[in-house]
Amino acid sequence: MINPELLAALEPLLDRALELSHDERVRFVADVRREKPDLARELETLLAVERDLDDHGFLSGPIAVRAGDWIEPEATALTGRTLGAYTLERPLGHGGMGTVWLARRSDGRYEGKVAVKLLNVALFDPIGAERFRREGTTLARLAHPNIARLIDAGVADGGQPFLVLEYVEGKRIDAYCEDEALSPERRLELFLQVLAAVGHAHENLIVHRDIKPSNILVTADGNVKLLDFGIAKLLEANVDGAEPTTLTDLGGSALTPEFASPEQVSGAPVTTATDVYALGVLLYVLLAGRHPTGAGLTSRAEHLRAVTEVEPTRLSLAASSERLRRHLRGDLENVVARALKKKREERYASVTAFGDDLRRYMNHEPVAARPDSLGYRAGKFLRRHRAGVTIAAVVIAALASATVFAWRAKISATRQRDEAVYQARRAEAIRDFQTALISQIGVSRVSLRELLDRGVTALGRQTTRDPRLTAALLLQFAYRYGELEARDVERALLARADSVATVSGNPSLRALIACELARYHADLAHPDSGIAALAFGKTVLLTDKNPDPDARAGCLLSEGLLAVQGKKFDAAVGLQRSALAVLDSTGRHSTLEYYSVQSELADVLRGIGRVREAVRLDESSREGLAALGLENSVIAASVNNNLAQVLLERGERARGITILRDVLEQTRSADSTREVHPIVGFNYASQMFSAGQFDSALYWYSAVRRSSQESKNLEVERRALIGIARTKARLGDASGAKTALGRLLEIAHQLNKPTKRDSMFVSASIALAEQDTTRAAQTFEAVIREDGFFDGKRTPTSRSPLRDLTRITLARRAPQLALDYARALRQMALVDSLAEFQSADVGEANLLAALAHAALGAADSASHYATAAVKALSVGAGAADRLTLEAQATVDSLARAKAKEHASK
Amino acid sequence: MSTDAPIGELIRSADTGNPAAAAKLFAAMYDELHRIAARELRRSGSDLTLGTTTLLHEAYLSLSSAEGARFENRAHFLSYAARAMRALTIDYYRRRSATKRGGEFHLTALPDDGSGDPALPTTERVEEIGQALETLGQVHPSLANLVDLHFFCGFALVEIAQLRGVSERTVQRDWRKARLLLHRLLGDA
């Protein structure tokens, strides 16, 4: 056994040694050995253990113990304690948030008992207390026999927050139904009471957001009482065991996956329809005894995915017995199914409507919910397997509308006849082709890549006699492959098109193909080959006395692209405008190709900073594509994405997010199995992450990753993995984050990309999740140092880490440094914004500055910035955004403090 | 309360280093924690999981509402209570193996959201840790207190840093030291 003296002597040595590097330690131990060899030996052993300490797992986590029921009950000590106007009588129980006591009003004003919930959080943070108080006032408005009334909410001296609630003695609704072995009718009756409660709240514009069995009690006389109404919202930023600092604001809100609605998972705003969904799940569970989509699933990510992608099993099929199945079949399951629709618009519009339909069922009247007829189910089945079909349709649409050859001007009669024949044959070929594709699909799910592969094979088998047609089809395929970055196939197809064109001897055709080849080379950054091909194309084109407008346009575009690469942006703009003019002159103003070119021009303009022109063009493309019914096309998604990005860069988050979400929802509604557009999905996920909606972010990042894996796009997968790693870290899954990081690094190596910043960025998030603020701060600093921040460089990618770093710095009580960071953020945001009070980025920076000023004791400056923050955030992020709420709470809290000060003077 | 002197006096006395007062205060804390745990168990019947932080919180409220009791702040309270928490946990481990009943009552230092892996040592091990901590506490009371706070009470290192008014780095280093020294005291290979 080690003696105390040795122990005492070791500690300072250990202290010193732990600070040293490996080599230095060796030297240090040698020094010690000279004086005290025993001590040195001990030290050496300890240091040897230290290296493997983490692997040992010795004392790595907090302890847990299970004890038996031998513990004798004893009298209590808090009895008689007063809290505000209430006197505590005896404890009732223990919830996730804190302990509940039975209490009564000290002055006897309110007859009867109350339940006082002592929250396990010391709200020493004045902003938190302010928010808590305000929410309490809102919730106290609810008065309904089926709602456990919130009577009061307060914060006692010393920061002890408490809620005073109506005292309810009862059992959880699911347990009650089980224990009393209730018939389905009785369960429905109980459920109607729940509906009444939620309906009342909706009338008062309060959404519960957290409906689940543990929040619904049934009293001994069979009455339902709903608990914790909106309290989830109330406690959002304060649920944490510890003393909350601004660090908790870095945490987002987590959902209960089993009862989360699809829109909650995808990050759309919560509405009363969200409660309808949760009620649907509840009813399902009460009737069938199992979960509609998540039965048997274990991981959080699986649950979330099931909510949005898995169709609920028909209620009757989920029944546990034949008798129950017969009971549940028919209209009842239609009603439940309607409440569980993925799309909000398809559910019951209100809780009242839900209840009405249920009552009709119980009275054997016809219900409003339509059954999923066989046709509809078949339609759904087709939809699921029609991935290939839909994409084929897109390809065909592109083929059809991008008319490669439209001889309009100055054509002779014979040519006119030829043209008609050509068009007819073209239409025929397309139809045949389409049939061939579809019939080959069968019932297996086909990815775009596979589909294209099959298409090319089919094209090979079908020899068309018209070289123009063959070349046209080959070109289109080449474009699609190019979009998927399958460059070798693209090359091969272009080569084939080239030989077809050469054989045909048609100069315009040869020119067009040559210019497309030039484009291909330009895309891959081989300017020399590109220039050569372009030169050839232009020369050949000159030999045609009636050059085809498509060829002319195509060559102008390719030249434009090469100009962009050569950084001759103004020239590029001119060339692209000329191409558009050519298309215009042949009357092809409103076609897919036209808008495609227009959006490319917008890209270039954006690149040279002519953002407003770009926005105008994009808006025109967007309208035009919608008018063509092509809002689901890849180009429309791209255009919308670009519009949204501009908005987001300017700090107009609310508008930008809405556009992105619309695109995603439209894609989904067209075909629920269709892959999410990776760029849009990614940008949306990033916005969800910034908004603290980590579950939603995880869902979308994962969807993007799946999409990129199917199309084998490594770059997108890499970026999605960064998102996944950071999100998992923030959701507390450090090992999941590390796994993602590992894969990420592999891919980065494959792509020959530098990995330093990515891994630092992820590590910072992991450190944050592990509450290691020091490491997190250091790592975030390293990330922005890498971006050149400390050398005065300001890049947009620094904004996200800088925001987190500012929050951490505030939490670590270094307000002056935090203020510096906040100022830098503000500068960056102002530069990019259109107007200060429309930009959420400026607003957020103002808020951070306000918090820093407040911590420094400069109350007036703090007020000034906080007020400005509220203005900007209300517009830029929306009134319901958590940042807006935080800013408002800050303003209020500062005002109260000031009032107090004045009063005491 | 099983003490004869009011809590407030005991605190004042223990603060000045009076060992008898410190012992009595310890006893009072222990009793209070145990009482609360028992009450919770009676209330909830089956399947209760009680967080140590909750338990400490309740005890804090209860003791600070007693006549004349004055803890300056949480840190002050915890400097005494953490050790009582350790003793309580070890006792529960002992009693568990004595009765050999499965037990529906869980006392846990894990965070409320259910994340984190619990350390579930054997009773012997827990007792050994207790003894080692006693030894360590004689020489380095603050390191022992750190182990109590982190391992037995479940406070995160960053919270402890705030509590003590030092940097997180310092606490992390101390934690490492504590683990190493305990490891040595337990004579592990």
Q: Is A463 at the interface with chain B, CB within 8 A?
A: no
Residues of chain A with pLDDT > 90, as a percent, come to 14
pLDDT tens digit sequence for A433-447: 444 444 333 323 345
**C-beta atoms surrounding A359 within 10 Å:** 14
- Taking every pair of Cα atoms in chain B, the longest distance, rounded to a whole number of angstroms, is 50
pTM score of the predicted model: 0.53
What per-residue confidence (pLDDT) applies to A375?
Answer: 38
Residue A399 has pLDDT above 80, yes or no: no
Residue of A63 and A456 predicted with greater confidence: A456
Q: Is A2 at the interface with chain B, CB within 8 A?
A: yes
What per-residue confidence (pLDDT) applies to A1?
Answer: 53
Contacts of A14 in chain B (CB under 8 A): 177, 180-181
pLDDT grade for A338, boundaries at 50, 70 and 90 = very high
Q: Of A464, A536, A459, which Cα lies nearest the Cα of A492?
A: A459
**Angle, to 10 degrees, between the axis of helix A734-750 and the axis of helix A714-730?**
160
The beta-carbon contacts of A638-645 under 8 Å, at least 24 apart in sequence, are: A638/A599, A638/A679, A639/A595, A639/A599, A639/A602, A640/A680, A641/A677, A641/A679, A641/A680, A641/A683, A642/A599, A642/A602, A642/A603, A642/A606, A642/A614, A642/A618, A643/A615, A643/A618, A643/A619, A644/A680, A644/A683, A645/A683
pLDDT grade for A119, boundaries at 50, 70 and 90 = low
Q: Is B110 at the interface with chain A, CB within 8 A?
A: yes
Residue B17 has pLDDT above 80, yes or no: no
Residue of B51 and A336 predicted with greater confidence: A336
CB-closest option in A1, A42, A63 to B152: A63
What per-residue confidence (pLDDT) applies to A102?
Answer: 83
Region A566-571: mean pLDDT is: 84
User: How far apart, in whole angstroms, are the C-alpha atoms of residue A315 and residue A748?
Assistant: 47
pLDDT grade for A394, boundaries at 50, 70 and 90 = very low
What per-residue confidence (pLDDT) applies to A403?
Answer: 30
The stretches of A406-466 forming alpha helices (DSSP H) are 413-441, 448-461
User: How far apart, in whole angstroms, are the C-alpha atoms of residue A315 and residue A466?
Assistant: 57
Q: Which of residues 140-169 of B touch A (CB under 8 A)?
A: 140, 143, 147, 150-159, 162, 167-169
Q: Which residues of A are catalytic?
A: 210
DSSP A615-638: HHHHHHHHHHHHHTT-TTSHHHHH
CB spacing of A11 vs B57 below 8 angstroms: no
SS3 of A1, please?
coil
Residue A389 has pLDDT above 70, yes or no: no
Instruction: Return the CATH number of the domain spanning residue range B121-189.
Output: 1.10.10
CB spacing of A91 vs B113 below 8 angstroms: no
Residue A411 has pLDDT above 80, yes or no: no
What per-residue confidence (pLDDT) applies to A170?
Answer: 85
Q: Which one of A335-339, A498-502, B156-160 scores highest in mean pLDDT?
A: A335-339
pLDDT grade for A54, boundaries at 50, 70 and 90 = low
User: How far apart, in whole angstroms, are the C-alpha atoms of residue A336 and residue A320?
Assistant: 17
Which amino acid, one-letter code, is at A458?
A: A
Residue A718 has pLDDT above 70, yes or no: yes
Is the interface score ipTM higher than 0.90? Answer: no
Residues of chain A with pLDDT > 70, as a percent, come to 74
What per-residue confidence (pLDDT) applies to A68?
Answer: 35
pLDDT grade for B104, boundaries at 50, 70 and 90 = very low
Closest residue on chain B to A48 (Cα) = B180
User: How far apart, in whole angstroms, are the C-alpha atoms of residue A228 and residue A217?
Assistant: 11
Least confident span in A219-228, A418-427, A495-504, A559-568: A418-427
Residue B2 has pLDDT above 60, yes or no: no
Q: Is B45 at the interface with chain A, CB within 8 A?
A: no
What per-residue confidence (pLDDT) applies to A166?
Answer: 83
pLDDT grade for A255, boundaries at 50, 70 and 90 = low
Residue of B77 and A865 predicted with greater confidence: A865
Beta bridge partners of A217: A172, A225
Q: Which one of A188-192, A229-233, B110-114 scores highest in mean pLDDT?
A: A188-192
pLDDT tens digit sequence for A578-636: 988 988 887 767 776 788 788 878 888 877 778 888 888 988 988 888 887 666 666 67
Two tokens, residue A30: 């040698």
Contacts of A75 in chain B (CB under 8 A): 35
Residue A162 contacts residue A116 (beta carbons within 8 Å): yes
Mean pLDDT of chain A: 76
pLDDT grade for A336, boundaries at 50, 70 and 90 = very high
Q: Is B53 at the interface with chain A, CB within 8 A?
A: yes
Residue A896 has pLDDT above 60, yes or no: yes
CA distance B107 to chain A (A): 5
- CA distance to A33, A147, A552, per residue, from A547 (Å): 92, 78, 7
Residue A400 contacts residue A365 (beta carbons within 8 Å): no
Region A730-756: mean pLDDT is: 83
pLDDT grade for A676, boundaries at 50, 70 and 90 = low
In the Cβ-directed half-sphere of A358, how many Cα atoms lie within 13 Å? 28
pLDDT tens digit sequence for A788-818: 888 888 888 888 899 989 988 888 888 889 9
What per-residue confidence (pLDDT) applies to A534?
Answer: 92
Least confident span in A81-90, A515-524, A662-671, B22-31: A662-671
Q: Of A257, A365, A367, A351, which Cα lies nearest the Cα of A304?
A: A257
Which uninterrupted H or E stretch holds A102?
strand A98-105
Q: Which one of A393-397, A636-640, A723-727, A797-801 scores highest in mean pLDDT?
A: A723-727
Please give the sequence-ordered ranges of beta strands (E in DSSP) within chain B, or none if there are none: 48-51, 105-108
Report CA dihedral (B72, A239, A798, A809) to the nearest 10 degrees: 0
Residue A245 contacts residue A808 (beta carbons within 8 Å): no
- Taking every pair of Cα atoms in chain A, the longest distance, rounded to a whole number of angstroms, is 112
pLDDT grade for A574, boundaries at 50, 70 and 90 = very high
Beta bridge partners of A163: A117, A153
Closest residue on chain A to B65 (Cα) = A81
pLDDT grade for A383, boundaries at 50, 70 and 90 = very low
pLDDT tens digit sequence for A678-709: 778 888 999 898 888 888 899 999 988 887 78
**C-beta atoms surrounding A743 within 10 Å:** 16
What are the counts of helices (DSSP H) followed by strands (DSSP E) for chain A?
40, 10
Region A16-27: mean pLDDT is: 85
What ranges do the domains of chain B cover?
1-114, 121-189
What per-residue confidence (pLDDT) applies to A415?
Answer: 47
Q: How far apart are the first and last CA of chain A?
A: 64
Residue A46 has pLDDT above 70, yes or no: yes
Region A148-175: mean pLDDT is: 77
User: How far apart, in whole angstroms, are the C-alpha atoms of residue B52 and residue B31?
Assistant: 15
Q: Is A12 at the interface with chain B, CB within 8 A?
A: no
Contacts of B40 in chain A (CB under 8 A): 91, 93-94
Two tokens, residue A441: 């699909």
User: How far apart, in whole angstroms, are the C-alpha atoms of residue B75 and residue A243?
Assistant: 12
Region A867-887: mean pLDDT is: 90
Residue B181 contacts residue A17 (beta carbons within 8 Å): no
Rounded (to 5) percent helix, strand, coil in chain B: 70, 5, 25
CA distance B43 to chain A (A): 6
Residue A537 has pLDDT above 60, yes or no: yes
Beta bridge partners of A165: A115, A150
The beta-carbon contacts of A619-622 under 8 Å, at least 24 apart in sequence, are: A619/A643, A621/A595
Rounded (to 5) percent helix, strand, coil in chain A: 65, 5, 25
Q: Any idea which residue has 């306000």 for tokens?
A: A850
Contacts of A77 in chain B (CB under 8 A): 1, 32, 35-36, 62-63, 66
Residue A397 contacts residue A433 (beta carbons within 8 Å): no
Going across the sheet that includes B48-51, the strands are A64-67, B105-108, B48-51
pLDDT tens digit sequence for B116-137: 545 556 677 778 888 888 888 8
CB spacing of A242 vs B155 below 8 angstroms: yes
Residue B8 has pLDDT above 70, yes or no: yes
What per-residue confidence (pLDDT) applies to A868?
Answer: 94
Two tokens, residue A589: 């103003």
Least confident span in A107-121, A275-289, B106-120: B106-120
